[in-house]
Amino acid sequence: MKALSMRGKYIGAVASAWIALSALSGGASADSPSVRLGLLKYGTVAWEIDVITHHGLDAKAGITLDVVALANKDATSIALNAGDVDMIVTDWIWVSRQRDAGADFTFVPYSEAAGSVMVHPDSGIDNIEDLRGKIMGVAGSPVDKSWLLLRAYAIKTIGADLGAVLRPAYAAPPLLNEKFRQREFDAVLNYWNYTARLRAAKMTELIQVQDLLPALGVPGRLPLIGYVFGESWADANQAAIKGFLQASAAARRILVESDAEWDRIRPMTKARDDATLIALRDGYRDGVPAKFGPHQEDSIRAAFAIVAELGGRKLVGGSTHLAPGTVWSGAY
């Protein structure tokens, strides 16, 4: 793959916000604290975890990482609730709802990578208004947070709810991309990694989810997913959680700075050509937070209020506000 120069903001953000790889010390031993991570085998987070294990970053951080492969998102939440794993990757909506129900789960922001509305280059769709009467594929379900944010944006900017003025078709991400390529959809709103594949295929990006936020009053960039664990578990296992977050930060640093590492993990990405691998690489890097910590709660809280209004009880349960403690207040 032809190496492309890094955008300066990535190196600056990582250098100022995270622990450098050379700063990691110690080493795992037989009595090192362990972290059992429930993980979707084919999710994009698996790329980072592979970097951790390949480079022994968990051992360098003084922990043992035990990865438990799970079949789907529901399986990860069930495993965490049952105590079969210590940590999973999910979103702040799930965490807030669990806290409202009495659980003590908490969220560490992981990625701001978000999808986009993509259209065909010759579609004649140049703005949100042009989506009226069109068929748009939507990843997930009617309460997917990106879809709800897009609906809120349309209500605010063109005075129309896209849920009422276009025909949404909800499906799994791979199927959406395939149907879109076959022109069964006029537009598609998919997750970031599937959006990257369409970008590599020269489809046109109408608007990114992150670009919706200023008009909606959401400050800064919004973390979409994060590492989730019990607050009481973190209090009782401080060395384990600190070591895991150090290893995670070091892995992300490698993925941000090293194009060669993307060549190594290429089979995991299932990129069929260089353009797709570059799009996935750049999409991942764009999702690396320039800031990393509990201060991101402001953007999460503002976004939660928006999706709660449109998604209702089916999405957030009985609460219309982000539950206190949803974003972890511990030291990073």
Position 8 scores a pLDDT of 39
CB-side exposure of 80: number of CA atoms within 13 Å?
27
Residue where one domain finishes, among candidates 179, 196, 216 = 216
Judgement on whether residues 153 and 172 belong to the same structural domain of the protein: yes
What one-letter code names the amino acid at 105?
A: F
Greatest Cα pair distance, the chain, in angstroms, is 62
22: pLDDT strictly greater than 50: no
Cα Rg of the chain, angstroms: 20
pLDDT, tens only, 43-76: 899 999 999 999 999 999 999 999 999 988 899 9
32: pLDDT strictly greater than 90: no
pLDDT, tens only, 177-207: 999 999 999 999 999 999 999 999 999 999 9
| Angle ∠(292,296,299) on CA atoms, nearest 5 | 145
Position 42 scores a pLDDT of 82
pLDDT-derived band of residue 314, with 50, 70 and 90 as boundaries? confident
Residue 324 maps to a domain: no
Position 9 scores a pLDDT of 41
- Portion of the chain with pLDDT greater than 70, in percent: 89
151: pLDDT strictly greater than 80: yes
Query: What is the C-alpha to C-alpha distance for residues 186 and 198, in angstroms, rounded to an integer?
Result: 13
Q: How far is CA 34 from the centre of its chain?
A: 24
Q: What is the DSSP letter of 172?
A: -
Query: What is the C-alpha to C-alpha distance for residues 20 and 28, in angstroms, rounded to an integer?
Result: 18
DSSP of 275-324 = HHHHHHHHHHHHTS-SS-SGGGHHHHHHHHHHHHHHHHHHHHTT-SSPPT
Residue 330 maps to a domain: no
Query: What is the C-alpha to C-alpha distance for residues 122 and 130, in angstroms, rounded to an integer?
Result: 13
If you average pLDDT over residues 222-231, what whole number do you get? 96
Better-predicted residue by pLDDT, 318 or 177: 177
pLDDT-derived band of residue 332, with 50, 70 and 90 as boundaries? low
As for how many domains the chain has, the answer is 2
If you average pLDDT over residues 305-322, what whole number do you get? 90
Judgement on whether residues 312 and 244 belong to the same structural domain of the protein: yes
Position 60 scores a pLDDT of 97
pLDDT-derived band of residue 28, with 50, 70 and 90 as boundaries? low
- Pick from 40, 108, 42: which is nearest to 79 by CA? 40
Position 30 scores a pLDDT of 59
Judgement on whether residues 22 and 105 belong to the same structural domain of the protein: yes
Q: Which domain does 190 fall in, by range? A: 116-216
13: pLDDT strictly greater than 50: no
Query: What is the C-alpha to C-alpha distance for residues 7 and 18, in angstroms, rounded to an integer?
Result: 17
Residue 179 maps to a domain: yes
149: pLDDT strictly greater than 90: yes
2: pLDDT strictly greater than 80: no
Residue 193 backbone phi and psi in degrees, to 5? -70, -30
What one-letter code names the amino acid at 272?
A: R
CB-based contact 229:241 (threshold 8 Å) = yes
Among 1-15, 120-134, 179-193, 198-212, where is mean pLDDT lowest? 1-15
Q: What is the DSSP letter of 222?
A: P
pLDDT, tens only, 239-284: 999 999 999 999 999 999 999 999 999 999 999 999 999 999 999 9
CATH code of the domain in which 143 resides: 3.40.190.10
Residue 3 maps to a domain: no
Judgement on whether residues 157 and 187 belong to the same structural domain of the protein: yes
Strand, coil or helix: 94? helix
CB-based contact 9:290 (threshold 8 Å) = yes
Residue where one domain finishes, among candidates 216, 232, 253 = 216
What one-letter code names the amino acid at 10?
A: Y
Judgement on whether residues 23 and 170 belong to the same structural domain of the protein: no
